[in-house]
A and B are shown apart, each in its own frame.
Chain A
Amino acid sequence: MQTSNLIIALLVMSALAYFFGYQRSRGFARQLGGVSNLHSLPTYYGMRVALWCGLPSVLLLFVCLAFEETIISKMLLSGIPDEIRPTSIAEYNLLMNKIENLASGALSSEGVKPALLDAAAALGYLRDMSQRLLTGLAMLVAGGGGFWGWWRMSAQLRARQQVEKIFKGFLLLCASLAIFTTLGILLSVIFESVRFFQQVPISEFLFGLEWSPQTAIRPDQVGGSGSFGAVPLFLGTMLISFIAMTVAVPAGLMSAIYLAEYAGSKVRSFVKPALEILAGVPTVVYGYFAALTVAPLIRDTGTSMGLSVTSESALAAGLVMGIMIIPFISSLADDVINAVPQTMRDGSLALGATHSETIKQVIIPAALPGIVGGVLLAVSRAIGETMIVVMAAGLAANLTVNPLDTVTTVTVQIVTLLVGDQEFDSAKTLSAFALGLMLFLVTLGLNYIALRVVKKYREQYE
């Protein structure tokens, strides 16, 4: 039976188990004179039997499916004669592919070694066998579990507690997924990064001044051995983020101050959502806007002023990224400014300070930790932003701080290295994971500090 059909069959069996459990508990209730004499409601008895039927069998199914392929290929390999036994992973993959295609009929059997034909036949046989075995086993476990659960029923059984325990276990599992995700991210980047640092020393990566990841695939090919000094990328990322922040921080902060302190409720109710539109626009749209509208505009303006501006200048990407971040900063700053107690404003105004003096000398100092936290979060966002820079910034890793020049960033390189064909044994592909690790660590650090600062600040006024 196919896996999807098997799962449906197991679900049907669980539904049946629910029905039988429910009926049996009603039977108990009749004997005792009413449902109120049972420990739990009949639905809980039904659910308990259904769980006994469904849970072990589905778990078994997933465990078996996870190991099925590995076991089958091990068994196949042991039957292959020594002369065509693969010696490397690439050869092994090739061989397995060939056998796979022979078995599915995609490759004609003409002129193929008989040993391979045997293997293909064996593959078909093994697949068939394991499928049958799995179906039988899962059905058996489901039936047995269901029967066990049904058999052990009594009027005193604490069915509700048992069902609720499993339910809570499921909730805990879902909540713990966040930890597994972080773990998954860390493992995936660290594992490949370690392989990268075996080929390229970590000091060269962190402090090298030249970045050209093109490695020659064949020894006779033109194109150097590749150099992996990531400093130009770090500098480019910082340059673009800096430009973005010089746009976003003043604009975001001032609009937040105006909205929180000066604007009437009418203006506020119109301007706030209008600015928040900027936060909802997908980054690919900003990238397109930067590449097709802002970059040519900056280039033409620069040329008319006698400056040489590349068409993929850091300025264009940074400006547009700044626009994207404005609502982010303004809404965070708005929150912290509103959290400053009204008594502090009143006190300052009563002493004769003007409104702007109150803001500059009382409110902003009081809200400063929160604002700094918000700005840090915004920086982390600018560093990790991908689509704008992929579309509007260049690929050339120039070591420069001239905003009119082309620079490249960490995220751009990750995308260019990982889009298209990848081989996971070349330093070129692996370097993307090392860059990813750097990106993850830096943004993690910034977020951590920012969240701590914001939290600490909030506690002060609560």
Chain B
Amino acid sequence: MSKSSKPNATTERIRQTLAKRYRAEKRFRLYGVVAILFGLLCVATLFVDIIGKGHGAFRQTYIQLSVDYDADILGISDINDAQQLALADFSGLVKKSLRTRFSDVSGRKDKRQLYRLVSNSAEYDLTDRLKTAPALLGQSEKRWVLADDDIDTYFKSLNSSDGAFVGRTSEKQQQWVQSLIDAGQIELRFNSQFFSNGDSREPEQAGIGGAIVGSLFTLFITLALSFPIGVAAAVYLEEFAPKNRWTDFIEVNINNLAAVPSIIFGLLGLAIFINFFHVPRSVPVIGGLVLAVMTLPTIIISSRAAIKAVPPSIREAGIGIGASPVQVVLHHVLPLALPGMLTGTIIGMAQALGETAPLLMIGMVAFIVDVPGGFTDPATVLPVQIFLWADSPERAFVEKTSAAIMVLLAFLITMNTFAVILRKRLERRW
């Protein structure tokens, strides 16, 4: 169209609105970027928040005491007498050491505060020490003992930018801590007890060892039940199921179960497994059962996808050389579909590892100090331990909870990464 001719009305209108339309285009694009940035920001905030709160829990405050294993205070005359050792007054020993260190403290109230500098686990530590080294009786040595959780929180916050967190520590206690710092008798050490101990009411002694072992036992039961059953169900539905009402009904049920809220499975566990079949509460067996029922749909659906991906030519070749349909499935289809099935199973297990709600219903929220030793010992699992600690009022538990979350996330990320690597490694394009 030449310039001299009459401008086309439509083109003119388009030209007038073009700038506006391009602006709308830009705006729309911006919304998308903002939405993605928001999502990424959430991921970042979550991780920074948890790690910021929890990294401190991997180190714990210890106080150095010079302990004099005085036979008179302990009330031990014969070191080889187990009875005497059990009754010995190790608590008195700890108190004596504290009094010698801060000899200027007098008055009952002050002394009581002084004794609260160290954790009450110090006496058990000394008991064990003397048991393993009986020659120490009558000798003295310098020993690092666990500090109380309030002291721990205070000591850790001393260098923080928000100023020290005083909490329940008294001014006198703060002075004593200062004096210990000046003498180099207080320090942060790697908190190995956090990984080995069970739960405790005292934050400085609480650990996730029991919860991790409980999670492992529970997951073992879940895996042992849901993997074979899930694979068998998937094989049936993909390879042998006739097209009839029963099969359709099974499929509808599986799809629905995959979207049922997890808490409903807790109700199922409570009403059917506990009240009807009398499975004991709080043990990994019941936890594993409920989680197996819950993860079954996930495993069935991913296993079916894996079986579907095996090309029909494999089956036809098998049948062609005289194998029975069952032989074709067992000898050819299953081995080829296994990587996909394993990937789905690992993702299902990761889901089960992070699940909390149904376990609350079946008594796995109990306060359990001992590390479980078997499938029928009362146990708790890692996410439930996090839930329990999150409810605890002590400030020191905030740190512990975040650290437990870090461990849980580390497990989950490892499992998912493993699943991705497995898929990449073993995936076969037909």
Name A residues whose Cβ lies closer than 8 Å to a Cβ of B. 160, 164, 167-168, 170-172, 174-179, 181-182, 184-185, 187-189, 191-192, 250-255, 257-259, 262, 271, 274-275, 277-278, 280-285, 287-289, 291-293, 323, 326-327, 330, 352, 354-357, 359-360, 377, 380-381, 383-387, 390-391, 411, 414-415, 418-419, 424, 432-433, 436, 439-440, 443-444, 447-448, 451
Contact = CB atoms under 8 A, between A and B. Distances in A.
B contacts with A: majority SS: helix
Given A287-B390, A291-B390, 17 more contacts: A164-B326, A174-B232, A176-B246, A178-B296, A181-B293, A188-B271, A191-B271, A271-B40, A275-B39, A280-B413, A284-B390, A288-B405, A384-B262, A415-B263, A415-B357, A418-B266, A418-B270
Given A185-B260, A282-B383, A177 B401 contact: no
B256 A285 contact: no
Contact of A189 (B35, B254, B271, B402): B271
B296 A181 contact: yes
9 contacts: A188-B268, A188-B272, A277-B43, A280-B412, A289-B50, A386-B261, A390-B360, A391-B387, A414-B267
A255 B32 contact: yes
B416 A275 contact: no
B34 to A, nearest CB: 7
Contacts, number: 246
A252 to B, nearest CB: 8
Interface in B222-250: 228-230, 232-233, 235-237, 240-241, 246, 249-250
Contact of A292 (B293, B361, B390): B390
Interface stretch (B18-26, B122-130, B163-171, B186-194): B18-26
Given A164-B326, A175-B250, A292-B398, A411 B409 contact: no
A36 B379 CA distance: 56
Contacts of A288: 386, 390, 401-402, 405
B31 interface: yes
A278 B408 contact: no
Contacts of B50: 285, 289
Given A167-B326, A288-B405, A291-B390, A185 B233 contact: no
For the complex of A and B, the 8 pairs showing the least CB-CB separation, nearest first, are A384-B261, A258-B32, A282-B354, A188-B271, A254-B35, A171-B236, A356-B28, A174-B232
A288 B397 CA distance: 12
A259 B29 CA distance: 11
Among A175, A292, A380, A387: residue with most chain B CB under 10 A: A175
B49 interface: yes
Nearest to B358: A386
Interface of B: 14, 21-22, 24-25, 28-29, 31-36, 38-40, 42-43, 46, 49-50, 53, 228-230, 232-233, 235-237, 240-241, 246, 249-250, 253-257, 259-268, 270-272, 275, 293, 296-297, 300, 324, 326, 350, 353-357, 360-361, 365, 383-384, 386-387, 390-391, 398, 401-402, 405, 408-409, 412-413, 416
B43 A258 contact: no
B267 A178 contact: no
A257 B267 CA distance: 39
Contact of A440 (B260, B386, B405, B409): B260
**Which among B50, B297, B350, B361 has the greatest number of chain A C-beta atoms within 10 A?**
B361
Contacts of A443: 259-261, 264
A258 B31 CA distance: 9
B42 A182 contact: no
A304 B32 CA distance: 31
B250 A184 contact: no
Nearest to B24: A356
Contacts of B356: 282-284, 386-387
A152 B255 CA distance: 44
Nearest to A286: B46
A181 to B, nearest CB: 6
